[in-house]
Amino acid sequence: MTAQPYTDELVDRLARANRVCVLTGAGISAESGIATFRDPDGLWAKFKPQELANVKAFLSNPELVQGWYQARRNVALEAQPNAGHMALVDLASIVSDFTLVTQNVDNLHTRAGSKNVLELHGNIARNYCIDCNQEVEDIAPIPDGETLRCTACNGLIRPDVVWFGEMLPDGIMDKALTKAKQADVVLSIGTSAVVYPAAYVPLVGREHGAYVAEINIEASDIASMINESVLGPSGKVLPQLVEAVRTRKRSGKQ
Ligand code: BJW
Ligand code: ZN
């Protein structure tokens, strides 16, 4: 039998917790076949973020950026939530106050059954016109060399995601940080934790006394500032961890 990758303390803390706040990143969707950003085979090994994920890039080459998001939207739509997403739905059902904050735009948490997900960086399924703000659903395939424009005002259509230098959706960070401050346990899952303000979620949780653990295939940038790094793929580790928490709760030894 292989040793569990997490401590008994983490299982105890989760079993006793009334409030749990979770931050997820691209790594939780890696096992659903969605590329991360900064891993060696991630999106940014092939594409330069400065050419794609900012508003200046979009305005100077809208076809390129629209095409890139179109391709990623299709991958996300065809992907299925994995055991890591499902384990968080399970964890939510055994914790009285559970908050899920995600940096992911792929919608997989909601499709897995998670409720009230705080999507810090938007959602790739939604699009809107940059001139009249009208939301655009059902993006049809964009013919080569053509730019997608608003049928109402001819403005450029962009994905409803947050690019570098842009503000996060109104009030969302306040909600996430309030939950992190109140939490008994904060989990940071599948994120390099280099992008702010998202990375404040585990750090602020720690500052306010939460037990903070990350689950990642390697230690992230914040590893030295938190209580525990659980090393392993989230699709494997999370179901084991949640099952251990269930067992601990049932045994009453919390
Ligand atoms: C696995 C795994 C498996 C793999 N199991 N794990 C404070 C300090 C410093 C800088 C700033 C700051 N405040 C703001 C900034 C600037 C900037 C920023 O953070 N820059 C730093 C990078 C230096 N932030 C912003 O600009 C933000 N806006 C803002 O702050 O507004 C206020 C403001 C406005 C104007 C002026 C000044 C302030 C906005 C940030 C928007 C980020 N947008 C993106 C693109 C979204 C759209 C899209 O999808 O295309 O969001 S960038 C990209 O990074 C994406 C992600 O959500 C985000 C985080 O990446 P994530 O999820 O962590 O992925 P990876 O690839 O980095 O990591 C994957 C991890 O998974 C790895 O650790 C693997 O090991 C692991 N893994 N397989 C478990 N199976
Ligand atoms: Zn318009």
Show which residues are catalytic: 121
What's the CA gap between 127 and 135, in Å, rounded? 6
pLDDT of residue 230: 98
Atom in ligand 1 nearest the alpha carbon of residue 39: 66
Distance from the alpha carbon of residue 251 to the mean position of ligand 2, in angstroms:
58
pTM surpassing 0.85? yes
Ligand 1 atom 38, closest CA: 165
Q: Atom 9 of ligand 1 has which residue's CA nearest to it?
A: 196
208 alpha carbon to ligand 1 midpoint, in Å? 23
Nearest residue to 177 (alpha-carbon basis) of 144, 154, 148, 199? 199
Q: Where are the alpha helices (DSSP H) in the chain?
A: 8-16, 27-30, 43-46, 49-52, 55-60, 62-78, 83-94, 108-112, 172-182, 200-207, 234-251
Per-residue pLDDT tens digits of the chain, which is 254 residues long: 468 999 999 999 999 999 999 999 999 999 999 999 988 877 777 777 667 889 999 999 999 899 889 989 999 999 999 999 999 999 999 999 999 999 999 999 999 999 999 999 999 999 999 999 999 976 777 777 789 999 999 999 999 999 999 999 999 999 999 999 999 999 999 999 999 999 999 999 999 999 999 999 999 999 999 999 999 999 999 999 999 999 999 997 55
Residue with the nearest Cα to atom 47 of ligand 1? 161
CA dihedral sign of residues 193, 196, 198, 202:
positive
